[in-house]
Homo-oligomer: A and B are copies of this chain.
Amino acid sequence: MPKATVERLPLYLQCLQAMGDVESTVSSEELANTAGVNSANVRKDLSYLGSHGVRGVGYNRLELCDQLRRALGLIEKWSVVIVGIGNLGSALANYRGFDASGFNVVGLYDADPAKRGHQVDGHYVKSMDDLKLDIKEHDVSMAILTTPAAAAQGVADLLIEAGIQSILNFAPSLLKVPNEINCRQVDLATELQILSYYQAAHQA
């Protein structure tokens, strides 16, 4: 499945879920409009799912949701840990939207002993020493990284050694990871800078 397609599937899922239960069927045209893409593109994307729409009618909404979830590997819930429980890490730990999208936060970790008393969203913040064992024991395969940039690579190495296979990194630092590890970067400053470019260009 093309990379570009994979990155659009969550968008389709989101659009379909936002439609509410009124419609039992959607056309590629309709989905394309709400998702902001070309309808042929939608059809080609969905064709990779082995999905069968009905000509003249469209796609069954619920069935399509189900197929998207299956394709994305969201049938089973993934267990996730968060490392670095500062401003951002705490906000993420408190976020209620994980569950709905197929993820389950099972542990919070921080290097700072001062954070350890704290409890965030029902989880005690644990020490980095607990990390490895917890990951192995609970078969955790995803981690969210919200430490300062300087600590990110070290923590990533630790996570990988412990058996983590996917990392979502919020620290503004490019992680070096082995090929078989999935890693995505979310960088606020980058996003703002891209906006800055277009805005500056627009004004000139």
Asked whether A47 is an interface residue with its Cβ less than 8 Å from the other chain, the reply is no
- Chain A 63-88 per-residue mask, 1 if CB under 8 angstroms from chain B, else 0: 00000000111100010100000011
Give the dominant DSSP class at A's interface: helix
Report the interface size for chain A: residues with CB under 8 A from the other chain: 59
A11→B191 contact, CB < 8 A? no
In whole angstroms, what is the CA distance A193 to B194 when docked?
A: 24
B142→A199 contact, CB < 8 A? yes
Asked whether A10 is an interface residue with its Cβ less than 8 Å from the other chain, the reply is yes
**Additional A-B contact list (15), CB under 8 Å, known A14-B187, A102-B196, A103-B189:** A6-B194, A6-B198, A10-B187, A14-B189, A35-B174, A72-B197, A72-B200, A90-B91, A92-B188, A97-B189, A98-B189, A103-B196, A165-B202, A182-B199, A186-B188
